[in-house]
Amino acid sequence: MYSMTNRRLVILTEGRLDVFSAKTAVSVIRYRKEDVVALIDRVNAGKDIESIIGIGKGIPIVSTIAETLHLKPTALLIGIAPPGGMLPAEWRKHITDALINKLHIISGLHCHLDDDPEFCKLAHDHQREIWDVRKPPEDIPLGSGKAKETKTLRILTVGSDCNIGKMVTSIEIANAAKKRGFNACFVATGQTGIMIDGSGIAVDHVISDFISGAAEKLVIDRSHYHLLSIEGQGTIVHPAYSGVTLGLLHGAAPQGLILCHQPTRKTLRHFANFPILPLPYLIDLYEKLAQPVHPCKVIGISLNCFGMTDHDALQEIQKVEKETKLPATDPIKFGVNKFIDGIRPLLP
């Protein structure tokens, strides 16, 4: 497994550098900025990264691997997660350049780069590793329903859509809990979370009969922690990804859910025919679905108020708190202390 220490990452975004398309890049910069030495993005080369994504001050954007070599990079990280996870053809050259220049490759794409004969040979010749983050471990069991027998407090993020703040919320909860001295752990279930944390299973990439088993394994392997802040996936009402969401909900058997939502989003991302549902409908549905396997409650609403002023965000938070009778916050703008206050009394 690729080492998480002393990383010097070059991140490939290639023209897709915005907060939503380059979710992986943005999140790695947010939580592992000290590891990132440059971005490769021909369209945005030379521009100021902070003016584009609001974070990352000082990280240069360039066009080629060659321009990053003086920064002594150790790995090229594929920084987007396109629908379907396939590798855009024009990116191949960056990957071969990286391997030739002795960089490791970190990828969260559905297609496994280490199954590619050309990449595989180059990696072998230059003694580099290709870390296909989404490749699941081989020892995932079928679900047994046993995560609920662990003593740890399991808090899972769920959402009104994909790509809406579940990973960020789960990381922020784990970090805030640790700051308060709790024995807490972030549990990554998607490629970006795994790249940030160094461990986890991409539950959207296991054989579908094993989704719950993967979630259960993640919980049981970490059950010595008092608090597991588990990254959710998708949404229960998604025409493409709902199966992953539900398998994760039943496998992880959380006692508490944090429902993530973006107030400005009116339809599912990339699925304009599917409106985002009202929060009370979603709360009821998540709780009803969890109930027969392991009863749990939604204990907070995490709002992604990206693009809103702080004033508007606060108004939205108040509105949602009134509507749902639950604590709400925007983790990036205002932190997650409200959630930690609710979680504290539930700790074992």
Binding site for its own copies (CB under 8 A): 83-85, 110, 141-145, 203-213, 236-248, 250-251, 253, 271, 273-275, 277, 285, 288-289, 292-293
When the beta carbons of 128 and 250 are compared against its own copies, the nearer one is: 250
When the beta carbons of 240 and 347 are compared against its own copies, the nearer one is: 240
| DSSP, residue by residue, 146-176 | -GGGS-SEEEEEEESSSSSSHHHHHHHHHHH
Q: How far is residue 103's CA from residue 100's CA, in Å, rounded to a whole number?
A: 8
Least CB distance to its own copies at residue 168 (A): 21
Report in angstroms the alpha-carbon separations of 46 from 40, 51, 52, 62, 65: 10, 12, 12, 6, 14
Report in angstroms the alpha-carbon separations of 42 from 60, 81, 247: 12, 18, 39
Least CB distance to its own copies at residue 32 (A): 25
Least CB distance to its own copies at residue 241 (A): 6
When the beta carbons of 66 and 240 are compared against its own copies, the nearer one is: 240
When the beta carbons of 75 and 253 are compared against its own copies, the nearer one is: 253
When the beta carbons of 115 and 125 are compared against its own copies, the nearer one is: 115
Which two structure tokens, joined as six digits, stand for 57? 């001050």
Least CB distance to its own copies at residue 332 (A): 27
Least CB distance to its own copies at residue 310 (A): 32
Rounded (10°) angle between helices 166-179 and 23-32: 10
Which two structure tokens, joined as six digits, stand for 98? 């990286």
Q: How far is residue 205's CA from residue 215's CA, in Å, rounded to a whole number?
A: 12
